[in-house]
A and B are shown apart, each in its own frame.
Chain A
Amino acid sequence: MHALDWAVLLATTLLIIGYGLYKSRGAALSGEQHLRGGGDLPWHTIGLSVMATQASAITFLSVPGQAYEDGLRFVQFYFGLPLAMVVICAFILPRYYGLRVITAYEYLESRFDTKTRVLGALLFLVQRGLAAGITIYAPAIILSAVLGWPLEATVVGIGSVVILYTVTGGSRAVSQTQKQQMIVMMGGMVVAAVVIARSLPEEVALPDAVAVAGALGRMNAVSFEFDLNDRYNFWSGITGGFFLALAYFGTDQSQVGRYLGGRSMAESRLGLLFNGLFKIPMQFLILFVGILVFVFYQFAAPPLLFNAPLERQVQQSAEAPAFSALQTRWDATQAEKQAAARRFVAARHADDGAAQARAAEELRTLHARAGTLREEAKATVRRAVPGAETKDADFVFIRFVTRWLPEGLVGLLVAVILFAAMSSTASELTALGQTTTVDLWRRLLRPEVDDRTLLLASKGFTVFWGLVALAFASFASLLDNLIQAVNILGSIFYGTTLGVFLAGFFLRRVGANAVFAAAVVSQAVVVALFFGSSIGFLWYNVIGCGLVMALASVLAAAGFGRRTA
């Protein structure tokens, strides 16, 4: 990065964090206010804060790369989200507001009993405590590889800044900071989209770029074909995406804590609906940036491998001659592909349908040949560096940014990625601190605690979880395929948690003992499935949730722990 990039990065970081702390000054007068986030946030701050919490650094690093390799179809994953927002606003939010809860798990005590609340809180702490480490580690490993920053320093840098403003300003500072971070994140992506579109050859206008992407199958935004084996289509998005969003926004304290800081229930509702309204356009924008990068590389040669450090390792190994031969064939294919892409655009301008179809076919053939060369290159990498991760979609965007974008914009986009990491981590640490303080420490050990001690305890627990996340992020490299490991861990617990909440909301006859027994049995079944079956881990969410609700209903019908009130 150049001096201008560093100036942009440092200036935006200091301004935003300074502004967040300034806006939250005097607000954290009491422990209760510190935990609640002041309770005076308007809908737009809530909406942006909720969006910033979900948008992690991996969103900005991986999603453009995903569009580059797989097209727009990932956008369908978010189709169920607006429906989940409506259900949360109509049925869940009134319950949380009615009870004046700080955490979602307080509701479980009101509806069931203390042990169910503690179970919900513990499931959240285990799952989110580990995830917070990954939220810091995953972008740090990519940024350190591409920008040459030391990994440990990157991890500690991101973590320390977040701990500082989260602990100092509390939940309110997190929301204020996230609002500004979200504006920079989206502004940065809009500027990136405009600059990339303007970097295309002069004769390639935006409709031409879309046509090139379409000819190579990248404009596949919506498919109504029902196929259970297809991960992203309209039907999986509207059903699976709905349940996942319901669990995440309805029961995960890192989100619940964001919207319960609202000035009123109406402000919280509008914030959530704002999230529902803008989430799909936001994801579309990030995916479309990836499409523009893809089109850019039809007119300029992309690297054979996007993971530059890995590429250098291969070039210094015994496989260097084989890799070099592949590179020569790659360059020749790219030159042919660029010529075909220009013929495609020229035919389009001349309105010559037959010539356009011929050029499109040629493009597809060359694209397939390039794909084969990339696979051969990855096989060479595996021989040169045994055990290396050759999936390099996460490196597509950041490598493009550092190679092709102008000074200053590189700093802005690195800021976008760092802000995304910080905003997600801040919500996670705040939620972990809130849950440990409210649901475990105050509820079980210090119910009569004075306000000053409550404030100190909540800050102490937030620092504790920040240090746990940093420690986990520092040792993360010792584990293989870490992100998948944490996703699996999350899926193991998410289904049971959602099942307990949904039983509380919708199964009126189910009492505390029935739901607790159902939750314990369901969790055991899901863990047994994890160790003893080959079922895809995303199904654990559905199985866990369905089992809790079905078992709790059966137990309640049999008179076990029936609700008497």
Chain B
Amino acid sequence: MTENEGEKPPILGSWRRVYAVEIGALVVVVALLRWLTTAAS
């Protein structure tokens, strides 16, 4: 079974998009934490 089989996600239409949002959220969180590090130092 590959990542595209099985049920569709309830949001965003495909699991690939859901995974992309998860990774995008990680990038945003790291960027925010980096900004906090720089701004507070």
Contact = CB atoms under 8 A, between A and B. Distances in A.
A90 B16 CA distance: 9
B40 A214 contact: yes
B29 A280 contact: yes
Interface in B1-34: 1-3, 5-10, 15, 18-19, 22-23, 25-26, 29-30, 33-34
Nearest to A214: B40
A160 B41 CA distance: 48
Contact of A211 (B5, B9, B40): B40
A95 B22 contact: no
B26 A90 contact: no
Interface string A62-75: 00000000001001
Given A83-B23, A221-B33, A284-B33, A90 B3 contact: yes
Interface residues of A, number: 37
A273 B9 CA distance: 12
A90 B23 contact: no
A221 B6 CA distance: 38
Contacts of A214: 39-41
B40 A91 contact: no
A82 B3 contact: no
A220 B33 CA distance: 9
Interface residues of B, number: 25
Contacts, number: 80
Contact of A94 (B2, B8, B23, B36): B2
A89 B19 CA distance: 9
A277 B24 CA distance: 10
A94 B29 contact: no
A277 B29 CA distance: 9
B33 to A, nearest CB: 4
Nearest to A219: B40
Contact of A266 (B10, B19, B23, B39): B10
Contacts of A91: 3
A241 B27 CA distance: 16
Interface in A45-90: 72, 75, 79, 82-83, 85-86, 89-90
A277 B25 CA distance: 7
Contact of A277 (B1, B22, B30, B36): B22
21 contacts: A82-B23, A82-B25, A83-B23, A86-B22, A86-B23, A89-B19, A90-B3, A94-B1, A94-B3, A97-B1, A98-B1, A210-B36, A214-B41, A217-B41, A220-B37, A222-B30, A222-B33, A265-B7, A266-B9, A276-B22, A277-B25
Interface of B: 1-3, 5-10, 15, 18-19, 22-23, 25-26, 29-30, 33-34, 36-37, 39-41
